[in-house]
Structure 1
Amino acid sequence: PADELIEFARKNNQRVRGHVLVWHNQLPAWLTSGVADGSISKAELRQILRNHITAVVTHFKGKIWQWDVVNEAVSDPWDTPSTLHYKGFWAQNLGPGYIADAFRWARAADPKALLFYNDYNIEAFGSGNPADDKTQFVYDMARELRAKGVPIDGVGAQGHLGTQYGNFSTLQVAAALRKFAGLGLATALTEVDVRSQITERVEAGDSAEINPRLQASAANFSVLMQACLAERHCLSFTLWGFTDKHSWVPGAFSDPPEGLATVYDENYQPKRAYHELKADLIFSGPPYVLPRVPQHPRR
């Protein structure tokens, strides 16, 4: 199926983002159980990861524009402990150095692909304290990787927002993108959707409940799009699914239930958010929106 997708993109002159080479979630049972019972040593685990990255990137060499090399490696303030830290299976078993290794292995397998770190809740800076500001923690991590010569080319902010939260202004998001660009990094909005809580009145079709959610959703989609357009090093804007009929959100958020997260409804009709994004693109241009600055793969 992945090869078919790549071929479709080639025929239609489209660029493809590769997602994802290293993630702590959805790992095969033989791997996690082997580490747990000691039948897979730390050295063997590192070699397994290297082989995986090398095999996947080599298979698609020359066909992927941007790779999400490492995904969601940083904790959240509500995790335990609350101080931000490197989380998940790979950090626990290989230490945080696996991140630099993953980028080096990916670059060796494809010298021309752009290599990204990808995470959620990094759309804007908060306190500026890396102990509780995830964006600052990731910024410091990226700065350290660059200083060590690790071939990281960009940082992807996923853009999973919810209308029940305060969220950010266009200027806040643009400022964060600009600060990452100051490290010599490209940026991208990589998994954009905006979910809402689904009350009984929403389920019943009450327009007084539904319309404010649709308007808030459209505003948040537009904030992210405008911020990306405003920062010339923001290379791409990817929606995480396009219709509520096949969204990941209802399955992941059930207490309370959430949904309405994409730009098309369950009947494949464009929502207000779709039209706002379209307007942002139609009306973008000089002097405020300028051509993108190409990112060249770091060696």
Structure 2
Amino acid sequence: MRKLWSASLVTASLIASAVLPVGTAAAVPGTTLASAAQLTGRYFGAAVQGYKLAAPAYTGILDREFDVVTPENEMKLDATEPQQGRFVFTAADRIVDHAVQQGMRVRGHTLLWHAGQPSWLVNLRGAALRQAMLDHVTQVVAHYRGKILAWDVVDEAFADGTTGARRDSNFQRTGDDWIEAAFRAARAADPGAKLCYNDYGIEDWAQAKTQAVYRMVRDFRARGVPIDCVGLQSHFDPNRPVPADFTTTLRNFAALGVDVQLTELDVVGAGATQAEDYRRAVTACLAVSGCTGITVWGVRDSDSWRSSGTPLLFDANGARKAAYTAVLDALNGGARP
């Protein structure tokens, strides 16, 4: 009699587990970075080099693991407007077309940056430069209207150091309102795209640069300037690891009513130490509901702008590293929306 009763309990337990409602938290974890991030309501993307889309070894990883792509260089000013008024979108279009075919979304990077400027723009001054700047924003954003998840409208406009000052760029010399003007032009060209300010060195809440960007975003939000998100580039290394207050930084920016995104994440290093820094960065994002996604700055170590530091989740041969496992585990342990 006892054996029959025990068997009945086992049967009942199996039946109960078989009829768990769809979407129960005990569901199957994500098996790729994108699928695991999606379970938390976030995206997981990668920076892409368009000429590598012809390589199956590259696209095999890209298409399997990521759901958002960021053109690494193809949308920058020198690439899209090499001569004033002559726009070239071929390379960027290739990336956007690939993303659409694969069901991915696109982060536009970047409209205005102090570096990577064509000579014609460098030689302009004053009102002529301001008008050329706004024309560029309008034309590029309009070309991709409806196809871009978020634009890095302005990149790296604040100086390093302890002053919290704006960078002394040619754009800055057209007037303090140049960033605001750029955001307003971008919104007019595509009301549906998220508009982001993107910078490095703003991950530590105690830094003057972080505080300066925070004050700008707070001011923009108070005055109705159309800013929707802040991109924290998140380039880490042994001399600049993930700060202890990273979650605080993300939370404080998000409290202004903007999304926060890790836009260029990479970690110089290897093995368990690198894996732990990646885990900490991802966990910080997962702790803040307003942190809507993460982009790593490349696919394989060999694709990285600092490849000698082996900073990415896949090695040069495309094999998953310990850092990959740490990120996937962190995503699968993240809170569901």
TM bin, normalised by shorter chain, reads 0.7 to 0.9
1:238 paired residue among 295, 303, 328: 295
2:139 paired residue among 55, 69, 77: 55
Deviations 1:180-222 (A, max 9, x none): 11111111000000114xxxxxxxxxxxxxxxx4222111111
Q: C-alpha separation between the residues in 2 aligned to 1:88 and 1:274?
A: 38
Provide the alpha-carbon RMSD of the alignment: 1.5
Deviation at 1:166, TM superposition (A): 4.6
Q: TM-score, normalised by structure 1?
A: 0.79
Q: C-alpha separation between the residues in 2 aligned to 1:247 and 1:148?
A: 39
Deviation at 1:155, TM superposition (A): 0.4
Partner of 2:318: 268
Answer yes or no: is 1:157 the counterpart of 2:222: no
Q: C-alpha separation between the residues in 1 aligned to 2:201 and 2:134?
A: 28
Task: Calculate percent identity across the aligned residue pairs.
Answer: 42
Structure 1 11/50 Cα, relative in aligned 2: closer, same or farther at 3 Å? same
Q: Which of 1 and 2 has greater Rg?
A: 2
Secondary structure of the structure 1 residue equivalent to 2:231: strand
Task: Tell me if the contact between 1:107 and 1:151 (Cα under 8 Å) persists in the aligned partners.
Answer: yes
1:184 paired residue among 257, 261, 264: 257
Secondary structure of the structure 1 residue equivalent to 2:111: strand
Task: Tell me if the contact between 2:130 and 2:171 (Cα under 8 Å) persists in the aligned partners.
Answer: no
What is the aligned residue count? 247
Q: TM-score, normalised by structure 2?
A: 0.70
Partner of 1:114: 194
Partner of 1:138: 213
Q: In structure 2, what residue type is equivalent to 1:249?
A: R
Q: C-alpha separation between the residues in 1 aligned to 2:259 and 2:172?
A: 29
Deviation at 1:12, TM superposition (A): 2.1
Secondary structure of the structure 2 residue equivalent to 1:85: coil
Deviation at 1:290, TM superposition (A): 3.8
Uncovered stretches (5+) of structure 1, i.e. residues with no partner? 36-40, 127-131, 197-212, 251-257, 292-299
Q: In structure 1, what residue type is equivalent to 2:137?
A: I
Structure 1 117/162 Cα, relative in aligned 2: closer, same or farther at 3 Å? same
Partner of 2:328: 278
Structure 1 165/5 Cα, relative in aligned 2: closer, same or farther at 3 Å? closer
Deviation at 1:91, TM superposition (A): 4.2
Secondary structure of the structure 1 residue equivalent to 2:265: strand
Secondary structure of the structure 2 residue equivalent to 1:17: strand
Secondary structure of the structure 1 residue equivalent to 2:169: helix
Larger RCO (CA under 8 A, 6+ residues apart): 2
Task: Tell me if the contact between 1:160 and 1:191 (Cα under 8 Å) persists in the aligned partners.
Answer: yes
Partner of 1:42: 126
Task: Tell me if the contact between 2:242 and 2:281 (Cα under 8 Å) persists in the aligned partners.
Answer: no
Q: Name segments (4+ residues, structure 1) moved above 4 Å.
A: none
Task: Tell me if the contact between 1:90 and 1:98 (Cα under 8 Å) persists in the aligned partners.
Answer: no
1:7 paired residue among 87, 93, 97: 97
Q: C-alpha separation between the residues in 2 aligned to 1:66 and 1:224?
A: 21
2:112 paired residue among 11, 19, 22: 22
Q: In structure 2, what residue type is equivalent to 1:25?
A: A
Secondary structure of the structure 2 residue equivalent to 1:123: coil
Secondary structure of the structure 1 residue equivalent to 2:197: strand
Partner of 2:64: none
Secondary structure of the structure 1 residue equivalent to 2:272: helix
Answer yes or no: is 1:67 the counterpart of 2:117: no
Q: In structure 2, what residue type is equivalent to 1:261?
A: P
Partner of 1:210: none
Q: C-alpha separation between the residues in 2 aligned to 1:114 and 1:75?
A: 24
Q: C-alpha separation between the residues in 1 aligned to 2:224 and 2:268?
A: 38
Task: Tell me if the contact between 2:112 and 2:153 (Cα under 8 Å) persists in the aligned partners.
Answer: yes
Task: Tell me if the contact between 1:163 and 1:216 (Cα under 8 Å) persists in the aligned partners.
Answer: no
